Chain A
Amino acid sequence: MRKDTTPAHELRPTTQELRIPERFIPTPTIEPGHSFSTITDHISTIVLRRKTPFGWLIGFLIALGGVTLLMFTMSVLIGKGVGIWGINHPVGWGMDIINFVWWIGIGHAGTLISAILLLLRQEWRTSINRFAEAMTLFAVASAGLYPALHTGRPWFDFWMFPYPNTMGLWPQFRSPLMWDVFAVSTYATVSLLFWYVGLIPDLATLRDRATNLWVKRVYGMFALGWRGSAKHWHRYEYAYLLLAGLSTPLVLSVHTIVSFDFAVAQIPGWHTTFFPPYFVAGAVFAGFAMVLTLAIPARKFFKLEDFITTRHLENMGKVMLATGLIVAYAYAMEWFYGLYSGNVFEIFMLKNRATGPYLKMYIALWICNGLAPQLMWFKRFRTSPFWLFLTAMFVNVGMWLERFVIIPGSLHRDFLPSSWGMYHGTKWDWSMFIGSIGLFFALLFLFVRFLPMISIFEMRTLLPEAQAHAEGEGQH
């Protein structure tokens, strides 16, 4: 093993007589001074060290408190009925579906980073993909709670699955909710596989490095006998590529189908053909905001600045800006379509957004999702963890507000004024939401403690030695 501390970018041929202006030299995806072993050491130590950091313990306990709240809310919910929430006539869906769509949106970044960026050979993704994938899984888990529990009789949820039964009853395949069931469950399955397959080489590393026998065994069991042979690597690369290919359409399909829940219905404010691209863009937007929200404190806490560099943060800021612009465009187009339709109900829906009782929500939505991401035009903000974190928080809130404006905001005043009403979340709506956030963070805390949050072997490929090796050997 060669010891070389020269940074990768300085080794590139571009440093010779043809002088490239400095601004075109990309900032590194890994800070200088690392070797194969330092990377492995650094990341695996976080998992394998014996002493659990005190900060982690505190954070985990707080998250567990959230899980407890979730369990309590779920008990009350199943015991009493969905009436504990603020839903009513005409607003049949409230924070249950808002939170579902919010979580599912957040869950988009993982697959996008892992699959699409992999296929596009965006190497910078390497240091954040594991983290983002884990986040995706946990967000999907939190999201999945809502459709399962929002039904009036959750114990009959299995009727939504096509299983053979004596009554000869089948689900109703025309319903977007049915499509949701398949879309979300497929997404969850593929994301889990993708994440797990990607973990196998690292689990083997942990197995090899672990000193405690039981830890060794547990990691060994999950490492599925990985020995790092060329055959293993060959199969691994194929499997990973195939899964990436599989999940790429899922990035588009899941939120497209979630948007069908609304677009297929005929409520003004829901019934628009541009919902699928609008929702997908919104999901990527939300996902990257959440990755930033989590990565910025994590890299600080676990001293991972060398691996999650300013370049990563900046790239994510750029993605956020791009998708944020798409989302803002969609908000603007909503007005155009509504007014251009000449339809009295569509026009009223817009008027109600602009002057109705939820006006404050709508203004806040524009500030969070329309204005705040504009900071990302400036490199100074794009490279500042503080400003990035702040913007990401705005986007997190904004995306929740977007779903609020779409769901109760459209339902509460539809066709017949005699049925109009108002929607307010109750304490149980909020406790369920806070609980699901607790669940998300509890899982995330467990993940950073027990699994390498950055892909060790992929990070190693970013090193110049790996580059040289690759160039020497030719394309894989």
Chain B
Amino acid sequence: MSDSKPLSFTEFRARVGDLRGREFWRSLEELSRSDVFDEFMTQEFPQQALALEKGVDRRNFMKLMSASVAMAGLAACRQPADAIVPYVNQPENLIPGRPLYFASAMPLGGYATGVLVESHMHRPTKIEGNPQHPSSLGASDAFMQASVLGLYDPDRSQVVRKYGDTATWGDFIGAVQPIVTAAKTNGAGLRLLTQTVTSPTLGAQIQTLLAQYPGMKWHQWEAVNRDSAREGARMAFGGYADVHYDFTKANIVVSLGSDFLASGPGHLRYARDFMSRRRVRHGKTTSMNRMYAIEAGITSTGSVADHRVPVKPSQIEGIARQILAGQASTPVLKALLEDLSANRGASVVIAGEEQPAVVHAIAHALNSQFGNIGTTVLVTDPVEVAPVNQLASLQELVRDMNAGAVKALIILGGNPVFDAPADFNFTRALDKVPFRAHHSLHYDETSLRCHWHIPDTHWLETWGDARAHDGTISIMQPLIAPLYNGRSAHEVLGALIGGLDQTPYQTVRTYWFAKGATEQTWRKWLHDGVVEGTTLPTRAAAAAAPPATQHPGNPATGIEIELRPDPTIYDGRFANNGWLQELPKPNTKITWDNVLLVSPKTSVTIGYDPDQREANVNERRTRYATVTYRGVKMNLPVWVVPGHAENVATIFFGYGRRNAGKVGTGTGFNTYPLRFSNALHGGPGAEIRIDETIEKPYLVACTQEHQSIDPKDVGERGLVRASTFEAYQKNPNFAKEPHHGSDTAGHENESMYPPWKYSDKQAWSMVIDNSVCIGCNGCVMACQSENNIAIVGKEQVVRERELHWLRIDRYYRGDVDNPEVFHEPVPCMQCELAPCEPVCPVEATSHSEDGLNDMTYNRCIGTRYCSNNCPYKVRRFNFFHYADYDTPALKPMRNPDVTVRTRGVMEKCTYCVQRINLAKIDAEKENRKVRDGEITTACQQACPTQAIVFGDMNDKTSEVAQLKAEPTNFTLLEELQTRPRTTYLATIRNPHPSLVKHA
């Protein structure tokens, strides 16, 4: 609440008045105990004291957060409000120290992904994927993991506001009633703006409302919308339809600018399915799938493609048409066509969300042509309640607002003031509406322009329902009562509909009971996290031929701009989430910022001197370039990415928020002004030059530099090992062959001393399959959430002090214009002969009996010698007091099983030792050994492609032991004889035989 006003006594009273029924007494009690209330009682000028918080800089935001009334309420337990005495009878299943798991679903862009939420004494602390949910299958992505921080975010909106001042929910109902009543008589003038809606209950409520007020209109807008997919499907199938894919059956995948492995509905499922065909196991795997990616900037999907063709985004349509026409102008396209023809019914052509609708139509036509529809490409009725062209929908709203036809606008979620297309002048139009209300999690840019603001509930706080990418419905159940007195969308709509003041629980339950649910099925749905039998049936469809070209050819001049949602903060809604801000973006490894991504050649074209660039990158800084595009001029820092298409600048949007909160406000650059309604995803004709007038370099918090590395040096080190499937079949032991750095191949275990036997213990170890890693960051975020890892802020990342225990190393090989990309997640290697252990003067890091390299935080004095001596550099040091000990809101978020580290202490990956010990305790109680698969580390659990396997390598039947026996298994820096417990499976790609360059 960067714009929060100092509290006054009247506001205080109003706030107390806003609390609901039985909470009242408890809350007052808490109020009287809170710091703020004490201040009111004891200080003469409390307002001035509170105003201090405005001067807090971002890095220290968490440390210096002062307590507020609602937070004080939070510090108390969130158990049922009437339980004020200790339990007389222990509630069933509630064992202190043991978490409970509840199924729910996280909606993003309308589409739900099933989750299991870990709850410690009624506090949600960790999100896991729901194995029964079709979009998750147990996996989770960075957004899901980080939503725990989103829930407890102390900057969330905490009170209803009227003209920015504190008001109550009752005030809002009082104010909105005459408006809706007037709308009933006048008919028109009432408008509802929502984001994408797949929730049947919410849909039904909106339909009820629309029926009540026939003149009312419902608009939908989301900055990251699926208009292209929607319209493409309409072109191909003659009406709105949803298309999803079965990659398990696809031998050939062609991506037309699509990042289906890492974004969009169902991406976790797609990643699992796609990679299930790339897991090479000796003697078992007889074939691999093959992917061709045609794209501009390197996406996670493109980074694992067998053939990646960097082209301008506008060229993709032409290439797609060539493929459709069966023409092949290049060897890659020739191979692609050959493969598609040879794999009829077993291929997928998938178009990116950033591609125009016509490319989607061409993709559907291609799928139809090659017989994929019904086998790998599944067409269903729309998942959304009411699919519309969201751009057109918003345009209509803006037109009506400008015309003065909108008398009242209720905005449910979203932030259109920030993210509407630049040429709509949404803010100016909005200001013409006499009654504006905004319902959102944060008091954001849009809230500021609205008369009323109602705090939303986080998805972990409310009842609801939503559909998965294949239509499967999940009931969302709250894990905690609303922390900040938020109201769910159901309640807001309920208030508009009038009549019953239903709780969201009643709303959702009533809807489903009306649909035929019984208490029994209802409970089962809640337990399972999915409503069985709601998967939308696939329908037979044949795609129509795509319409003729809509693009008048490619203008040759200038640089083309590609606009994409930010990979970590999405459309800007996660800007205040420190975990996501500090998450290194896939491939570029940039945190806290958006930059202008160009290829090495293009950087020279725009006037960036390569020597200067290299020196700058070394120091984690860069120069500004001036972008002139359609009359908009802005300065953006330039960052060079090998493999990026020539004469294309990729720009992520979502940054540059002005009212995001203490963390997000002011990070990066607002690039929405470059987004025009007729070119939402960018277009040609940009003028980009290095800005010679700005000498001062811009600091970029990049966690891995790359330009300065001579590829030869890296290749000799044998850090990533790769081969093609064809070569692998001839020589499965390629990863074991000595490389230049190693002269000890086959001698790894030679020592003067006999090796320590862990024979009577379970030897925990990990295998990471580099082949299937897509670098999506799910594991990194899961690790952060599970292990209470603090964030350090941009300035500290620039100074190379990030704390992530797990990082994903990225290596390039080959031509700088189109290199192969390799991902390698690096957790602690848990070396059996760990170099960190003998150098610690106080024995703060030592070996456990089962061979783990343990870290004793409270013994550590912080000499940093262990980190210096770690060849893998996986140790992380608390240079300052990074962990937030003070903010009450963040205390319940933490995993109670993991120590929160203090300053001056070294930390590192523990293989989630808390999970290991939990399983060991269970096993000991039953007098048995821990079973294979009983322990999953947080990273393993999150991984959508199951690249990480953990277990006991002494048990030769365990999955991990079997993987270690694979010929492709290799050890990082084995010549150092550290004997890591973490090993890797070499990367195997499957390029078309005709395209393999034989050395």
Contacts and interface: CB of A to CB of B under 8 A. Distances in A.
A171 B840 CA distance: 9
A169 to B, nearest CB: 7
Contact of B880 (A83, A150, A421): A83
B826 A159 contact: no
A324 B950 CA distance: 54
A152 B799 CA distance: 17
Given A93-B868, A266-B871, A342-B743, A174 B838 contact: yes
B689 interface: no
Q: How large is the interface on B (under 10, 10 to 19, 20 to 34, 35 or more residues)?
A: 35 or more
Interface in B824-871: 826, 835, 838-843, 859-865, 867-869, 871
Contact of A172 (B618, B716, B841, B875): B841
A415 B881 CA distance: 29
A348 to B, nearest CB: 5
Contact of A92 (B743, B810, B838, B867): B867
Interface string A68-97: 000000000000111100111110110000
A157 B861 CA distance: 7
A83 B795 CA distance: 12
Interface of B: 615, 618-620, 704-705, 708-709, 713-714, 716-717, 719, 740-741, 743, 796, 799-802, 807, 809-811, 826, 835, 838-843, 859-865, 867-869, 871-873, 875-881, 902-906, 972-973, 976
Contacts of A175: 838-841, 865
Interface string A343-356: 11100100100000
Nearest to A86: B799
A136 B842 CA distance: 29
Given A151-B904, A266-B869, A421 B862 contact: no
Contacts of B802: 89
Nearest to A179: B841
Contacts of A420: 705, 708-709
A160 B861 contact: yes
B842 A171 contact: yes
Nearest to A348: B713
A416 B881 contact: no
A228 B878 CA distance: 58
B799 A417 contact: no
Contact of A88 (B713, B801, B865): B801
A422 interface: yes
Contacts of B863: 150-152, 177
Contact of A87 (B704, B835, B839, B879): B879
A416 B838 contact: no
14 contacts: A82-B904, A93-B865, A151-B862, A152-B906, A160-B842, A169-B843, A172-B842, A172-B843, A174-B839, A266-B871, A348-B713, A415-B976, A418-B807, A420-B708
Given A81-B880, A92-B877, A172-B843, 14 more contacts: A81-B881, A88-B879, A92-B864, A169-B842, A172-B841, A181-B841, A265-B865, A267-B868, A345-B741, A351-B713, A416-B873, A416-B972, A417-B717, A420-B708
A84 B175 CA distance: 54
Interface in A145-177: 150-154, 156-157, 159-160, 169-172, 174-177
Given A92-B867, A265-B868, A81 B713 contact: no
A156 B842 CA distance: 10
A28 B859 CA distance: 59
A189 interface: no
Nearest to B742: A344
B810 A87 contact: no
Contacts of A160: 841-842, 861
Interface in A218-270: 261, 264-267
A411 interface: yes
Where chain A touches its partner, the secondary structure class is loop
Contacts of B810: 418
Contact of B861 (A90, A159, A417, A422): A159
A419 interface: yes
A153 B880 contact: no
A261 B872 CA distance: 19
Contacts of B869: 265-267
Interface footprint category on A: 35 or more
A261 B864 CA distance: 12
Contacts of B799: 86, 88
Nearest to A357: B618
Contact of A81 (B809, B859, B879): B879
A414 interface: yes
Contacts of B811: 417-418
Contacts of A261: 865
A421 B811 CA distance: 16
A154 to B, nearest CB: 8
Contact of B841 (A171, A264, A418): A171
Contacts of A174: 838-839
A406 interface: no
A178 interface: yes
B835 A265 contact: yes
A226 B195 CA distance: 94
A272 B810 CA distance: 31
Given A80-B880, A344-B717, A418-B826, A176 B839 contact: yes
Given A87-B879, A151-B904, A178 B862 contact: no
B840 A83 contact: no
A159 B859 CA distance: 9
A82 B879 contact: yes
Nearest to B862: A152
A28 B868 CA distance: 51
A261 B838 CA distance: 12
Contact of B716 (A89, A264, A266, A344): A344
A275 to B, nearest CB: 15
Contacts of A89: 800-802, 867, 873, 875-877
B903 A81 contact: yes
Contacts of A157: 861
Contacts of B801: 83, 88-89
A169 B840 CA distance: 14
Nearest to A268: B871
A357 B741 CA distance: 23
Nearest to B713: A348
Contact of A344 (B741, B839, B861, B876): B741
B618 A345 contact: no
Nearest to A265: B869
Nearest to B835: A266
B840 to A, nearest CB: 6
Contact of B719 (A90, A153, A416, A421): A416
The 10 A-B residue pairs with the shortest CB-CB distance in the complex, in nearest-first order: A152-B862, A152-B904, A83-B879, A92-B864, A419-B873, A88-B800, A153-B904, A418-B809, A344-B741, A172-B843
Contact of B839 (A90, A170, A177): A177
A447 B229 CA distance: 83
Interface string A412-440: 00111111111000000000000000000
- Looking at A81, A348, A416, the one whose CB has the most chain B CB atoms below 10 A away is A416
A152 B861 contact: yes
A418 B906 CA distance: 20
Contacts of A93: 864-865, 868
Contact of A414 (B713, B719, B871, B906): B871
A357 B860 CA distance: 33
B840 A172 contact: yes
A416 B880 contact: no
Contacts of A417: 709, 713-714, 717, 719, 811
Contacts of B881: 81
B842 A159 contact: yes
Contacts of B835: 265-266
Given A172-B838, A175-B841, A414 B873 contact: yes
A157 B871 CA distance: 26
A344 B619 CA distance: 25
A261 B866 CA distance: 11
A343 B903 CA distance: 37
